Amino acid sequence: MNQKLLTELQNLGFSDKEARVYVASLQIGSAPMQKIAASSNVNRATTYVIVESLMNRGLMSSFTQGKKRLFTAEDPNKLLEMVHREQFELQEREKAVKDIMPDLKEIFEVATQQGQKPRVKFYEGKDGLKSVRNEFLKVKSKEIMGIFNYDYIARVFDTEEDQKFGEKREKKNITTKAVYTSQQGPILADKNKKNLTNLRYLDYNKYNSPIDISVFDDKVALTSLEGNLMSAVIENENIADAMRQLIGVIWASADGDDEASEQNSK
């Protein structure tokens, strides 16, 4: 049996057994169920179910000859008609979804606002991480809290990119209160010109993960800075408040008195 043909039929939505039964029926012409099953190498009970399904889709038919019921594949053009019919049905379903979308979104928004259902957005690649940073710049509370490993950030964003982001954040008067770690020690300044950057160093042995955690408004961004770059932004007030409290506990235990070079990364 032509494997390429079977594969193409599977690409059209046929299962492996459906494709084999259909092709076998085309090859042998009118035949009883037992012969179709043997030719397609599918057990008889399963072949019966598949043939009934193919008949419902207009791809096979049956007739009685004497005392025997024979089954036959329809002209292959029926397959094209099936595809056209499915396309039409898909368009109709799409139209139906669009018609009810405003009501569904309203229900979803209400549930989200009431804290009943967290909303999660995923971002991939460096461009995705830049998009998350742009979300930081829209923070209504004018404060971002977080914990991060500077070594991993430096591998993804160069000094110029960090400086430009810092300038945009300062221009919008957004405060950062964050705990950071680095194998290089406490190398980041804990204040900037506008006193908008408040950093505390955490011993590298206590947190050396490539996961950056940021909290802003009612959102939490969990960003992986190693391997496949990606970020998940969870929008939920209760989750955001919990993360703020946890970061606050870490902040209280971190060292805020070390001298550091004047850099901004968050």
- Per DSSP, 143 falls in state E
Residues 124, 16, single domain; the answer is no
> Does pTM surpass 0.95?
no
Q: What pLDDT does 141 receive?
A: 93
Whether 203 is in a domain gets the answer yes
Parent domain of 90: 77-117
Please tell me whether residues 191 and 249 are part of one structural domain: yes
Can you give the CATH number for the domain in which 176 is found?
Answer: 3.30.870.10
Number of domains in the chain: 3
Pair (218, 239) in one structural domain: yes
Q: Assess if residue 209 is contained within a domain.
A: yes
Which residue, 178, 174, 145, is CA-closest to 244?
Answer: 145
Question: Reduced to 3 states, what is the DSSP secondary structure of residue 21?
Answer: helix
Give the separation between CA 235 and CA 233, rounded to whole angstroms.
6
163 and 42 share one domain: no
Whether 260 is in a domain gets the answer no
- 15 and 125 together in one domain: no
pLDDT computed for residue 204 by the predictor: 87
3-state DSSP helix/strand/coil percent for the chain, to nearest 5? 50, 20, 30
Euclidean distance between CA atoms 215 and 265, whole angstroms: 16
Within 13 A of 123's CA, how many CA atoms are on the CB side?
19
Look at residue 98 and tell me if it is in a domain.
Answer: yes
Give the pLDDT score at 117. Answer: 64
Q: What is the pLDDT along the chain (266 residues), one digit of tens a residue?
A: 778 888 888 888 889 999 999 999 999 999 999 999 999 999 999 999 999 999 988 899 999 988 889 999 999 898 888 888 888 888 888 888 888 888 888 877 776 666 566 788 999 999 999 999 999 999 999 999 999 999 999 999 988 898 899 889 989 999 999 999 998 888 886 545 567 888 999 998 888 899 999 999 999 999 999 988 999 999 888 899 999 999 999 998 886 544 333 344 44
DSSP 237: H
Going from the C-alpha of 244 to that of each of 70, 180, 249, the distances in angstroms are: 71, 15, 9
